[in-house]
Structure 1
Amino acid sequence: MAVVRDLPDEGQEQVLAFAEFLHVRLGGARPAAPSEPLPIPRPEEESVVRAIKRLAASYPMLDRGKMLNETSTLMAQNVIGGRPNAEVIDDLEILFRTHFEAYQASKT
C-alpha cells in the first residue's frame, strides 16, 4: 500500500505492530519468531535509540523486558554521560548477541 510505504520507518513499524496485534486479537495465530537473528545491517551513522530499534528487530525472539535494565543503563551513558554513540552501540550489539546466545542455550 502506498500510504504505508510513504511513512517513515518508525511509522511503518507501528503499522506492522498494530496489524499483528489485530491479527492475534481477532483469533489469528501469532507469527513464530525466527530462530536466528535477522541480518539488518548497521548504518554508518546511527543514534543509540535507532540502534536499539534495529537490534530489537534483528532479534525478535528475545524478551526485551529481560534486557531493559542493561539497555537503559547504556542509553543513559550516552544521553546523560555523553559517551559516544559508536561505543554505546558496540556494547548494545554485544548485549543483544549475549542474550541471544543464552536464548539458544536455553532451547537445547
Structure 2
Amino acid sequence: MRDSKRLLSIFRSLSEARQQGLLEYAEFLAGKEGADIAAAPPSEPLLILRPEKENVVKAIQRLMQTYPMLERNRVFHEASAQMTRHLVHGVAAVDAIDELERIFARNYQEHLDALKQDPLSS
C-alpha cells in the first residue's frame, strides 16, 4: 500500500508527457509478466512492418512478436535501457526505436550463431 501511494505521488508530480511515458512503460512491464508462450516459437522472424508512427512501448511489443524465438529476459535488459533513454534522457522515440531494431537484429544473429555451434540447443 505504501508503494502504491508513493508511485501515485511520483506520477502526479510528473509532466503530462512523462505521465504518459510512465503509463506506457507500466503497460510494457505488465505485458512481460504474462508472456509465457506454450507453443514452440518460429525459427524465422515474423514479418511485422513498422508503423509510420509508433511509440517505444509499441515498438518493443512489435519486436518481441517479430522475434519470438529470442529469450525475452536477454533482450529485456537492453530494451529497458532504450526505454529509459527515451523517457528519462529525452532521446526521440524514433531514435530509440531505431536502436531497438538494431538490438533485436543483433540478438537474432547471435541466436543463429549459437544454433550453428550447437544445433541441438534449440
Across the two proteins, how many residue pairs are aligned to each other? 85
TM-score for the superposition, normalised by structure 1: 0.72
Residue 95 of structure 2 is matched in structure 1 by 87
Shift of 1:61: 0.3
Residue 104 of structure 2 is matched in structure 1 by 96
- Structure 1: which amino acid aligns with 2:83? M
TM-score for the superposition, normalised by structure 2: 0.64
Unmatched 5+ residue regions in structure 2? 1-26, 117-122
Shift of 1:67: 1.7
1:28-78 deviation line (CA, Å, top 9, x unaligned): xx3221111000000000000000000000000001101222111110010
Unmatched 5+ residue regions in structure 1? 1-9, 22-29
1:81-106 deviation line (CA, Å, top 9, x unaligned): 11101000000000000000000111
Q: 1:70 aligns with which of 58, 66, 78?
A: 78
Q: 1:31 aligns with which of 39, 51, 57?
A: 39
Which of these two proteins has the greater Rg computed from alpha carbons?
Answer: 2
Identity %: 38
CA RMSD of aligned residues (A): 2.1
Comparing 30-39 and 90-99, the one that deviates more: 30-39
Matches within 5 A, 1:10-29: none
Deviating 4+ runs (over 4 angstroms): none
- Structure 1: which amino acid aligns with 2:44? E
Residue 3 of structure 2 is matched in structure 1 by none
Comparing 67-76 and 98-107, the one that deviates more: 67-76
- Structure 2: which amino acid aligns with 1:97? A
